[in-house]
């Protein structure tokens, strides 16, 4: 069971291997819907996104609360992230010194990047990196990196990530 109010985001993915898919990201799991054609992918994407937004509006108005909630959702309801990418933070740079290593969801908002930890380290708090603190970014040898300046909450340094194949 995946509660829509707990979803981090939804995205469209097209690949030669899987075709047209819609990925629904919860904190610890991903559900992938496969469409036969691009218009089907777009319909599923818009429908799921609309349902998530409606669920969040109900939560804000107090209509979504249920006495039977099993506590699955460990993140407070928040705006739907613009993009969500499953990543693995490498033991290099800030990943090692700030204990960021392991599986995470890299979530994009209008003003920040948030690393939401999943799996074994999901009890640890999320890490927020304001976009203004990102000095530069790039990729090298199959990894993506962010160089953060001194104004970053984690301090200056690099966060190295490997994006998982979708």
SS (H, E, C) the chain: CCCHHHCCEEEEEEECCCEEEEEEECCCCEEEEEECCHHHHHHHHHHHHHHHHHHHHHHHCCCCCCCCCCCCCCCCCCCCCCEEEEEEEEEEEHHHHCCCCEEEEEEECCCEEEEEECHHHHHCCCEEEEHHHEEEEEEECCEEEEEECCCCCCCCEEEEEEECCC
Backbone angles phi, psi at 128, to 5 degrees: -105, 130
- Taking residues 94-117, what's their average pLDDT? 90
Tokens 């990201």: give the residue: 25
What gap in Å lies between CA 126 and CA 109, rounded to an integer? 14
Q: Which pLDDT value is given to residue 149? A: 94
| Measured CA angle at 33 (ends 49, 122), to 5 deg | 75
Domains by residue range for the chain, with CATH? 4-60 (2.30.29.30), 83-163 (2.30.29.30)
Residue 110 has pLDDT above 70, yes or no: yes
Q: Using CA atoms, how far apart are residues 142 and 161, in angstroms rounded to an integer? A: 9
How far is 37 from 133, CA to CA, in rounded Å? 40
Cut 0.85: pTM above it: no
**Residue range 50-97, pLDDT digits in tens:** 998 888 777 666 555 554 444 455 555 545 688 888 999 999 999 888
How do residues 136-165 score in pLDDT, each as one tens digit? 999 988 899 999 999 999 899 999 999 876
Query: What does the alpha-carbon distance between residue 40 and residue 24 come to, in Å, rounded to a whole number?
Result: 15
CA nearest neighbour of 79 among 105, 112, 53: 53
Phi, psi (rounded to 5 degrees) for 139:
-140, 150
């Amino acid at each position: 069971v995946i509660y829509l109010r707990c979803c981090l985001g939804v995205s469209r993915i097209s690949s030669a291997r899987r075709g047209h898919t819609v990925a629904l990201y919860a904190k610890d799991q991903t559900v992938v819907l496969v469409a036969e054609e691009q218009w089907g992918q777009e319909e599923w994407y818009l429908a799921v996104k609309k349902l998530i937004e409606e669920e969040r509006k109900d939560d804000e108005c107090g209509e979504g609360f249920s006495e039977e909630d099993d506590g699955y959702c460990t993140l407070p309801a928040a705006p739907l992230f613009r993009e969500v990418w499953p990543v693995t933070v490498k033991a290099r740079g800030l990943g090692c010194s700030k204990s960021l290593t392991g599986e995470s969801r890299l979530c994009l908002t209008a003003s920040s990047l948030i690393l939401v930890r999943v799996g074994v380290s999901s009890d640890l708090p999320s890490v927020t990196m304001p976009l203004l603190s990102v000095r530069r970014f790039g990729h090298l040898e199959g990894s993506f990196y962010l160089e953060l300046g001194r104004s970053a909450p984690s301090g200056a340094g690099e966060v190295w990530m490997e994006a998982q194949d979708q």
